[in-house]
Amino acid sequence: MLGPFLETLIGGLLTGVLYSLVALGFVLIFKASGVFNFAQGAMVLFAALTLARLTGEIDGREVHLANFVIAAAILGTALAFVGWYAWREYMARGGGPAERNRMAVLAVVGAVIGGAVAWFYGKGSWPLWVALPATAAIMGVLAYAIERLVLRHLVNQEGIILFMATLGIAYFLDGFGQTLWGSDIYKIDLGLPKAPIFLFEDVFPGGLLVEPGDLVAALIAGLLVVVLAIFFQKTRIGRALRAVADDHAAAQSVGIPLNTIWLIVWTVSGFVALAAGVIWGAKLGVQFSISLIALKALPVLILGGFTSVPGAIVGGLIIGAGEKLSEVFLAPILVRQFDLAGGGIENWFAYMLALIFLLFRPQGLFGERIIERV
C-alpha cells in the first residue's frame, strides 16, 4: 500500500509543479495590476505554438498559404497601429530622450522579428537557441500590444470588467494563434529522456515510477521561481513592482511609471507562459487543449492566494498531490459505495479542497490579509 501511495504522491507533486507554472503567470499580473488575467492559458498556447512552428517541428504539414498571408496582414496592421499610437503619444509629450530610446528599441525589435519571420518562414527549422529568444520577443510585443490597446483604456475600471477584457483577449489569441500557425498537433522536442525511472525497486514491488520529463519540468519551475524571487526582491524594477502592487496611487506619486511597470509584468508573465508552454508542449504536444489547462491553475490560485509567488508553488503542490491521491484512492471507494459510472473526481476535488480551505482562511495560504474598511 505504501508503494502505490508514494508513487501517486510523487506523480501528483510533479503534476502540481506544472500547475504552479501556469498559476505563476496569473499571480504576477494580479499582483502588479489587480487584473485577473484569464488569457494566461491562451498565452501559454500562443507561446507554445509559436515556438513549435519556429523550431519547425511541424510534422510534415504546413499552414495554408492564404491563412498565413491574411494572418500576416492582421499582424502587420496591429504592429502598425501600435507604432502609430506610440508615435502620436511621443509627439504629444514633446518626446523625451527616454521615450525616444524606448521607441527605438521597440522599432528595432519589431523590425528584427518581422524581418526574421518573413525571411525564415517556410525556410526550414530554426534551432532552439534562436527560436526561444524570438518567441520571447514575440511575447514581449504581445504584452506591449495588450498594454497599449486594452489595459491602458481600462484604467480604473472594476476588476470584473478587466477580467472580461482578458477573456476577450483569450478568444482573440486562440483564434489568432490558430490562424497564424494552424490547428494541427505540433511537437516541441527538448530532447528530454522519455523512459520512466523506477526508484527503490528493492523496497517496493515494481519500484516507484517517476517520469524524467516531469522531473526536468519541476527543476525548470523551481529555477524560475528562484529567479522571479530574486527579481522581485533585489532589483530596482522588482522594488517598483512591489510598490505598485501595494498601492497604485502612492507608487505613481513617487514617480514610478505605471504603464511601464504593467508592460514589464505582462512581458514577464509572457515569459512564464512560454516556459509553461514549452514544458506542457513537450509533454502533450502543442495543440488547442493546452489553453484549457488554465482551468487547472485556478484552484492553485485560490489556495495559494492571488498575490503570492510562493503560494502558487505550495498551492500547486498541494492541489497536484490532492488531486491524484483522491482520484486513485478515494474515487474507487465512491464508485463502489454509490454505484457511480466511473470516478473522475479529480476535476472538482481540487476546487472543493481549495473551497474548504478558503472557508477557514479567506485570503488563501499566503495571500495578503484582507482588511475591511468602512
Partner 1 sequence: MLYREAGQFKTTYGADQQIFPILQDRLFVLAVIAAAVLVVPLFATQYLYTEILIPFLILSLAAIGLNILVGYCGQVSLGTGGFMAVGAYAAYNLGLRVPELNNLVIVFLFGGLMSAAVGILFGLPSLRIKGFYLAVATLASQFFLDWLFARVKWLTNYTPSGSVAVGETSAFGWKIDTPAERYLFILAFVVVATVVAKNLVRGHIGRSWMAIRDMDIAAEIIGFRPLRTKLSAFAVSSFFIGIAGAMWGFLRLGSWEPLAFDINRSFQILFMVIIGGLGSLLGSFLGAAFIVLTPILLNQMPGWLGVGMSTALISHLEFMVFGAMIIFFLIVEPHGLARLWSIAKEKLRLWPFPH
Partner 2 sequence: MGLRKLALMGAAVVAAGIATSATAQGPNEQFIPGLIYRTGAYAPNGIPFANGVADYYALINERDGGINGVKIVYEECDTGYATDRGVECYERLKNKGPTGAAYVNPLSTGITFALTEKAPIDKIPVISMGYGRSESRDGSVFQWNFPLLGTYWSAADIIMQHIALKEGGFDKLKGKKIVLVYHDSPYGKEPIALLEKRAKMHGFTFTPMPVTHPGVEQKATWLQIRQNRPDYVLLWGWGVMNSTSIKEAAAVGFPREKLFGVWWSGAEPDVRPAEGGAKGYHAAMLQHGAGQFGVHADLKKYLYDKGKGVAKWDETDEVLYNRGLVNAMLGVESIRTAMKKFGNKPMTGEQVRWGIEHLDLSAARLKELGFEGMLQPLKVTCSDHEGTRAGRIQQWDGAKWVVVSDWYQSDDKVIKPMVDAAAKKYAAEKKLPVRDCSKES
State the residues that interact with partner 2 by CB under 8 A: 4, 7-8, 11-12, 15, 59-62, 178, 183-185, 187, 194, 196, 206, 209, 211, 283-285, 287-290, 292-293, 296, 323-324, 327-328, 332, 341-344, 346-347
Of the pair 49, 279, the CB lying nearest partner 1 is at: 49
Of the pair 16, 270, the CB lying nearest partner 2 is at: 16
Q: Is 295 in the site for partner 1 (CB under 8 A)?
A: yes
The three-class DSSP label of residue 121 is coil
The sign one gets for the Cα dihedral 200, 12, 286, 48 is negative
Whether the Cβ atoms of residue 363 and residue 372 lie closer than 8 Å to each other? no
Q: Is 72 in the site for partner 1 (CB under 8 A)?
A: no
Facing residues of 199 across strands?
208
The x, y and z cell numbers of residue 51, run together, are 515556438
Whether the Cβ atoms of residue 143 and residue 266 lie closer than 8 Å to each other? yes
Contact partner at residue 8 from partner 2, partner 1, none, CB < 5 to 8 Å by partner kind: partner 2
Of the pair 64, 187, the CB lying nearest partner 1 is at: 64
Give the interface segment with partner 1, choosing from 113-121, 214-222, 313-321, 339-347 (CB under 8 A).
339-347
CA separation for the pair 138, 149 (Å, rounded): 16
Whether the Cβ atoms of residue 303 and residue 29 lie closer than 8 Å to each other? no
Least CB distance to partner 1 at residue 59 (A): 17
Among 189, 230, 229, which Cα is nearest to 213's?
A: 189
Least CB distance to partner 1 at residue 22 (A): 14
Tell me the CB-side half-sphere exposure of residue 39, using CA atoms within 13 A: 30
Figure out which of the listed residues 8, 135, 178, 308 binds partner 1, where binding follows CB under 8 A: 178
CA separation for the pair 85, 81 (Å, rounded): 6
Of the pair 217, 270, the CB lying nearest partner 1 is at: 270
Of the pair 53, 296, the CB lying nearest partner 2 is at: 296
Contact partner at residue 173 from partner 2, partner 1, none, CB < 5 to 8 Å by partner kind: partner 1
Q: Is 58 in the site for partner 1 (CB under 8 A)?
A: no
Q: How far is CA 29 from CA 99, 266, 273, 304, in A?
A: 24, 7, 12, 15
- Report the chain's terminal Cα–Cα distance, integer Å: 54
Q: Which amino acid is at 139?
A: M
Q: Is 85 in the site for partner 1 (CB under 8 A)?
A: no
Q: Is 87 in the site for partner 1 (CB under 8 A)?
A: no
Neighbours of 76 (CB within 10 A): 12
Of the pair 7, 147, the CB lying nearest partner 2 is at: 7
Neighbours of 64 (CB within 10 A): 10
Whether the Cβ atoms of residue 100 and residue 47 lie closer than 8 Å to each other? no
Least CB distance to partner 2 at residue 160 (A): 26
CA separation for the pair 69, 49 (Å, rounded): 18
Which residue has cell 528493492?
202
CA separation for the pair 38, 166 (Å, rounded): 5
Site for partner 1 in 90-119 (CB under 8 A): none
Contact partner at residue 93 from partner 2, partner 1, none, CB < 5 to 8 Å by partner kind: none
The x, y and z cell numbers of residue 218, run together, are 519541476
Least CB distance to partner 2 at residue 339 (A): 13
Least CB distance to partner 2 at residue 187 (A): 6
Q: Is 168 in the site for partner 1 (CB under 8 A)?
A: yes
12-51 mask for partner 1 (x: CB under 8 A)? ------------------------x---------------
Q: Is 224 in the site for partner 1 (CB under 8 A)?
A: no
Figure out which of the listed residues 70, 203, 219, 226 binds partner 1, where binding follows CB under 8 A: 70
The three-class DSSP label of residue 28 is helix
Binding site for partner 1 (CB under 8 A): 36, 64, 66-67, 70, 74, 149-150, 153-154, 157-161, 163-165, 167-176, 178-179, 183, 295, 298-299, 301-302, 306, 338-342, 344-345, 347-348, 351-352, 354-355, 358-359, 362-364, 370, 372, 374
